[in-house]
Amino acid sequence: MLIERFLKYVSYPTMSSEKNECCPSTEKQLKLGALLSEELSALGLEAEMDEHGYVYGSLPSNCGEGHPAVAFIAHMDTSDAVADSPINARIIEYKGGDIVLCEEENIVRSAPGDGFIGKHLIVTDGKTLLGADDKAGIAEIMDALERLISGGEAHGDIKICFTPDEEIGRGADLVDLKKLGADYGYTLDGGALGGIEYENFNAASAVVKIKGFSVHPGSAYGKMKNASLMALEYASLLPADEVPEKTREYEGFYHLCDISGSIEAAELCYIIRDHDMKKFEEKKKKVLEAAEKINIRYGEGSCDVILKDSYFNMREVIEKYPYVLHRAEEAMREEGVEPYSTPIRGGTDGARLSFMGLPCPNLPTGGYDFHSRSEFAVVEEMEKCADIALRLMKNTAKYGK
């Protein structure tokens, strides 16, 4: 049932859009939200989707009071980095080597690694992303809930929240923590089985706007200011080696996501990331200093930067609530999985929620190569991730607040 759920969910295109200020940023997310709200209600939860597309569910304790209310959270939207429809997903048994995603168009992805040999992988035809980020998390939560309820297992209060717009950094913006009513929570939005993530990047966005001046090129001497060339010059002022493709682990970066321009105007869109707050602030300072250099060279008002913080490293919050991590580790070991921790080279709703007052580390889903045409999910890992979620739900019966 888990995999059938997942394949159904990924058939719903739910790409979010940073260009739209409304919430949800795209109406198509509401279609999946409505389905999930209906399914939660059918399972017996008190469920609703609010006017902003947030889906809430509540399953009251069946073993009395005095137990913690635990939230399980995942996001409905997918990245805009790759097309989100039509998603043609299929399951293959991986036997090694490269994977032919689409034989007709000779679309081939490189070998994912020998560690996947003998496992069943869910892949696409290489023309779209898969959507395991984060519909794998949604499917695993729903599967765990269904088994918890059908099995009559004892449990404390279980809270559910499916959010829109996580991929554009707004997933936690309008979460109603009072309505959710949880003491702590877990996002299911990670990758490889066993990973418990509670360290993430400090994050900001920077939109660099450059103004040029256009005249006929034959009489441009001393007059023209080519905004496109100024944009290239601006990019050259940032450290060339501090980019995603040249950094790893705790190393931060400047990521140029988009660039457009003409002679009269140009725009560069960056995201800025670093685990260390001091280095994070230094990176933001360099972005502003680069703009000052452009203005000194080409005149005041030539370059303007709109800098906005997105989220911060949740480690400082989670470390105040070690039991939240210990309970996740316990659940994994009870399901035969050895937990480990690695820094997230990204962010989750859990980071924002932690600073809002809901300690919320991130758990795995069994998905890989997110935001790409090569994205895939491992059936066996998804099943185990759902088992871990179920274990966490059952364990609430033995914990006190």
Q: What is the pLDDT of residues 280-339, one digit of tens each?
A: 999 999 999 999 999 999 999 999 999 999 889 999 999 999 999 999 999 999 999 999
Distances, alpha carbon 204 to alpha carbons 68, 267, 285, 308, in Å: 34, 17, 12, 5
d(CA 71, CA 354): 12
β-pair type (184-188, 362-363)? parallel
CB atoms near residue 93 (< 10 Å): 10
Mean pLDDT, residues 247-266: 96
Amino acid at 254: Y
CB atoms near residue 258 (< 10 Å): 10
β-pair type (184-188, 70-75)? parallel
Tokens linked to 86: 């039509």
> What percent of the chain is predicted at pLDDT more than 70?
100
Mean pLDDT, residues 158-170: 95
Amino acid at 351: A
The predicted pLDDT at position 346 comes to 80
DSSP state of 18: T
Which residues form the catalytic set?
77, 166
The predicted pLDDT at position 34 comes to 98
The answer to whether residue 258 scores a pLDDT higher than 80 is yes
How remote is the C-alpha of 105 from its chain's centroid? 30
The answer to whether residue 400 scores a pLDDT higher than 90 is no
pLDDT category at 134 given cuts 50, 70, 90 is very high
Task: Let me know if domain 2-199+313-398 sits in CATH 3.40.630.10.
Answer: yes
The predicted pLDDT at position 401 comes to 76
Mean pLDDT, residues 106-112: 97
Mean pLDDT, residues 258-274: 97
> What percent of the chain is predicted at pLDDT more than 90?
96
Mean pLDDT, residues 42-59: 98
The answer to whether residue 155 scores a pLDDT higher than 90 is yes
Ranges of each domain in the chain: 2-199+313-398, 202-311
- CATH code for residues 202-311: 3.30.70.360
How remote is the C-alpha of 264 from its chain's centroid? 36
* pTM score: 0.88
